[in-house]
């Protein structure tokens, strides 16, 4: 099932062409990897997908209809959630509070006090367990978690609040091998739960084991958009 189709997307910043003619597909239960070095246009591409920037050329098609997002909220309403490198978490706040912090901002489920604390703790624990993280103490501050664990809290949070597509912005970039491996497992877990994942990375070694589709960017242009197994036939 195709969720997002980017068709020949172009984006200019003034007279800088950050993206030209970039196409790819995001399907439920698949991981689309966006690969490229610094300046390739990866950030610009996910800003278009997540409604932060409007594209200047091409078509963004969601659930079969062309869309023009007028902001990140519009993308969220279609279930397109972004997990940024900075994760939008407050390090000194307990894990469970961080987990529900997004709920006011994203899904409009009302103020924190409408759910009781015990219930929020239980939901947080259960959702993390589904991602394979066993944290008995969700009262500890987020700042005490490892980088990989923080990423997984952010991913679990987006999934809990209704994301159908997860856009992960360099989730493994700042991590060592072991923590990167942890995050790669969550990516596979999200795919197994039927989410579409857009995995931005400059590291082909991280993309390779989890990717179903690969968009290769270089200086704002596409070097290819391949399904796994199709790469061998590429020029």
Q: Would you tell me which residues interact with ligand ADP (CB under 6 A)?
A: 13, 16, 18, 36, 38-44, 220
The count of other CB atoms within 10 Å of the CB of residue 112 is: 13
Rank residues 36 and 72 by Cβ distance to ligand ADP and give the closer one: 36
User: To the nearest whole angstrom, how small is the minimum distance from the Cβ of residue 14 to ligand ADP?
Assistant: 6
In the bound complex, what is the minimum distance in angstroms from residue 43's beta carbon to ligand ADP? 3
**β-strand partners of 198:** 32, 167
Residue 166, C-beta contacts closer than 8 angstroms, at least 6 positions apart: 81, 82, 83, 155, 158, 159, 190, 195, 196, 197, 198
The nearer residue to ligand ADP, 60 or 120, going by C-beta atoms, is 60
Identify which of residues 41 and 102 has a Cβ nearer to ligand ADP in the complex.
Answer: 41
Q: Quote the CA–CA distance of 71 and 54 in Å, as a whole number.
A: 8
At a CB cut-off of 8 Å and minimum separation 6, what does 125 contact? 96, 135, 136, 138
- Residue 85 CB neighbours (<10 A): 12
CB of residue 217 vs ligand ADP: minimum separation in angstroms? 7
DSSP characters over 50-75: TTSS--SEEEEEETTEE---SSHHHH
CB nearer ligand ADP, residue 19 or residue 159: 19
CB of 42 to ligand ADP, least distance (A): 3
Nearer to ligand ADP, 38 or 116 (CB): 38
**Residue pair 221/21 in contact by the 8 Å Cβ criterion:** yes
The distance of closest approach from Cβ of residue 198 to ligand ADP in the complex, given in angstroms and rounded to an integer, is 13
Report the b/e string of 212-221 with b at 16+ CB within 10 A.
bbbbbbeebe
Please identify, using beta-carbon distances, which residue of 43 and 103 lies nearer to ligand ADP: 43
The two structure tokens encoding residue 199: 């995995």
Give least dist CB 154 to ligand ADP, A.
16
Write out the two tokens for 125: 């624990």
């Amino acid at each position: 099932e195709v969720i997002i189709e980017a068709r020949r997307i172009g984006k200019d910043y003034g007279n800088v062409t950050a993206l030209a003619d970039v196409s790819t597909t995001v399907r439920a239960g698949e991981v689309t990897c966006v690969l490229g070095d610094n300046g390739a246009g990866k950030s610009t591409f996910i800003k278009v997908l997540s409604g932060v920037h409007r594209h200047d050329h091409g078509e963004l098609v969601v659930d079969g209809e062309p869309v023009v997002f007028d902001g990140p909220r519009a993308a969220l309403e279609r279930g397109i959630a972004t997990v940024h490198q900075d994760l939008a978490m407050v390090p000194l706040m307990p894990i469970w509070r961080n987990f529900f912090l997004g709920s006011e901002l994203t899904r409009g489920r009302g103020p924190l006090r409408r759910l009781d604390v015990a219930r929020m703790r239980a939901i947080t624990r259960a959702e993390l367990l589904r991602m394979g993280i066993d944290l008995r103490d969700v009262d500890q501050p987020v700042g005490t978690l490892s980088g990989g664990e923080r990423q997984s809290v952010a991913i679990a949070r987006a999934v809990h609040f209704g994301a159908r597509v997860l856009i992960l912005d360099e989730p493994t970039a700042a991590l060592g091998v072991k923590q990167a491996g942890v995050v790669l497992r969550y990516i596979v877990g999200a795919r197994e739960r039927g989410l579409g994942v857009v995995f931005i990375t400059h590291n082909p070694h991280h993309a390779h084991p989890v990717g179903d589709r690969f968009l290769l960017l270089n200086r704002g242009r596409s070097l290819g958009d391949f399904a796994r197994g199709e790469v061998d036939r590429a020029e």
